[in-house]
Structure 1
Amino acid sequence: MFLMTRSAKRKQQQAASMRNQLQPGSGVRTIGGMYATVKEVNEDTVLLDAGPGVELLFAKNAIGAVLTDDEYNRIVHGIEHDLKSDADVVPDDASSLTETDEPADAAAASDAPSVDLGKKDEAEEPSEDAEAVKADADEEPKKTDGGSDAK
């Protein structure tokens, strides 16, 4: 019991110190999930700039997290900070992922035998089961009087 209250108290102290270190210009996330920029910090309140012409007054306790500039820009503006400039770029299509030494026509004409899955025969000739199902579907359903068999 003592350890649980100690860890909870430590978390509260960390959150309070984070809120006391708020400075104008830093990006924050409120406990409600709104992202904004700190415009002004008062004793118990914080004035947030949520967009052009939108200023909101929040209690300091409503600030859930102070974000780094890179994280704030990535979330709010969609700007990715490029940590690896030499990183491979993934193409939009998969054509470059299946590169082979030989062209597609040569691959089709290779010595490997083709595998026949037998689906052409089934598609062309309907089976007896398919004809029976089709015949049953054409018949009208039987009407019942709602007796115990209908349950």
Structure 2
Amino acid sequence: MSLVTLLPFIVLIGAMFLMTRSAKKKQQQAVEMRNAMQPGSGIRTIGGMYATVKEVNEDTVLVDAGPGVELLFAKNAIGAVLSDDEYNRIVHGIEHDLKSDSDVVPDDASSLTETDESADAAAASDDKPVDLGKKDETEEQTADAEADEEPKKTDGDSDAKK
């Protein structure tokens, strides 16, 4: 057998190895995340429910889903352990103010790019509206027809038959 015939099999085996390796790595990270849960941690279940961990057992987790609502979940049903800031932002709508010391960005970006001179020039040019639109065909034909007409006689002579 030649190397050319073996190459597709080698590539296929390598791809399978890489896929199983990355899947095992993700699974190991999920197990570590679930083992790091502590009472008071905010979690999201694989079904999308947000709750606070009340008690962690060997294979189960008791969570507080609201006032007087305690639910028992299997540990592998926990999809993510959230940071306190993320849990408060999602569940309570509390935004953690990370930008309190930074400048406020205006809604209108033109204030970031215009200088005083260009703003004055823009204000002066606003006085006269500029028509950048295309004229209709009827307007162009009317203007052409008026230019082609002969001047009308004004001294009483007419081309009428007598």
Normalised by the size of structure 1, how large is the TM-score? Answer: 0.62
- Structure-to-structure mapping, 1:1-150, within 5 angstroms: 1-89=16-104, 112-115=127-130
Cα offset for 1:87?
3.4
Cα offset for 1:20?
1.1
Q: 1:111 to 1:22 in 2, by over 3 A?
A: closer
- Opposite residue 78 of structure 2, the aligned amino acid is I
User: Larger Cα Rg: Structure 1 or Structure 2?
Assistant: 2
- Opposite residue 85 of structure 2, the aligned amino acid is D
SS in 2 for 1:50: strand
d(CA) in 2 for partners of 1:90, 1:61: 43
Residue by residue over 1:63-119, the C-alpha shift from the partner in whole angstroms, topping out at 9 and shown as x without a partner, is 00000011111111111111121334567x97xx7xx97xxxxx988784224689x
SS in 2 for 1:39: strand
d(CA) in 1 for partners of 2:18, 2:45: 28
In structure 2, runs of 5+ residues without a counterpart are 1-15, 117-121, 134-162
- Opposite residue 44 of structure 1, the aligned amino acid is D
Q: 1:3 to 1:111 in 2, by over 3 A?
A: closer
Higher helix residue share? 2
Aligned Cα root-mean-square deviation (Å)? 3.4
Q: State percent identity of aligned pairs.
A: 87
In structure 1, runs of 5+ residues without a counterpart are 102-106, 119-151
d(CA) in 2 for partners of 1:111, 1:68: 52
* Runs of 4+, deviation exceeding 6 Å: 107-111
d(CA) in 1 for partners of 2:80, 2:126: 63
Normalised by the size of structure 2, how large is the TM-score? Answer: 0.58
Q: 1:111 to 1:32 in 2, by over 3 A?
A: closer
